[in-house]
Amino acid sequence: MTDETKPIDPRVSIGHVHLKVSDLERSLEFWCGILGFELVQRYGEQAAFISAGGYHHHIGLNTWESLGAPPPPRRATGLFHVAVLYPDRASLADAVRRLLAARWPLEGASDHGVSEAIYLSDPDANGVELYWDRPREAWPTSDDGSIAMFTGPLDLDALLAE
């Protein structure tokens, strides 16, 4: 195996994402007001940086190229969704309760075997996945030992009972 073909260092992770939004205040109401992220810093009236747990930022929201703009067309290249990993099933259930209390529309709910996920869009039609991972030893596997993810229905009532 050459340096060009060896796998990436397994300690690498996705640190943050920046989303182009049309209305910064509306986006902050969704991400902070409904989902509960914390505002870490504002960059004038054009950008804000939010996080969970005091990190410098997990999500940047900016209007640098998108102030007042419509959402991108659905059948175009770009970000499919940003995925927010919750530490456990109860935390994911809390996020769903927040969304339901705010009457925020859910677009889907799936059991992937390795995880359970809720799908929705933010105010600018950016796709959002909220999910938790099952413990690795509970992940489904194929006969050869590889991960056997699938997509099945998620029982929201059972999730909310957490």
Model confidence pLDDT, tens digit, residues 11-29: 998 889 999 999 999 999 9
**Are the C-beta atoms of 101 and 142 separated by less than 8 Å?**
no
Q: Of the candidates 141, 80, 92, which has an alpha carbon nearest to the alpha carbon of residue 113?
A: 141
For the segment 113-140, what is each residue's pLDDT rounded down to a tens digit?
999 999 999 999 999 999 999 999 999 9
Element (H, E) at 158: helix 156-160
- Mean per-residue pLDDT, 144-153: 97
Work out the burial of residue 113: count CB atoms within 10 Å of its CB; fewer than 13 is exposed, 13-18 middle, 19 or more buried: middle
Domains of the chain: 15-67 (3.10.180.10), 80-162 (3.10.180.10)
Q: What is the distance between the alpha carbons of residues 95 and 131, in angstroms, rounded to a whole number?
A: 10
**pLDDT tier at 5, thresholds 50, 70, 90:** confident
- Mean per-residue pLDDT, 158-162: 95
- 91 token code pair: 């935390």
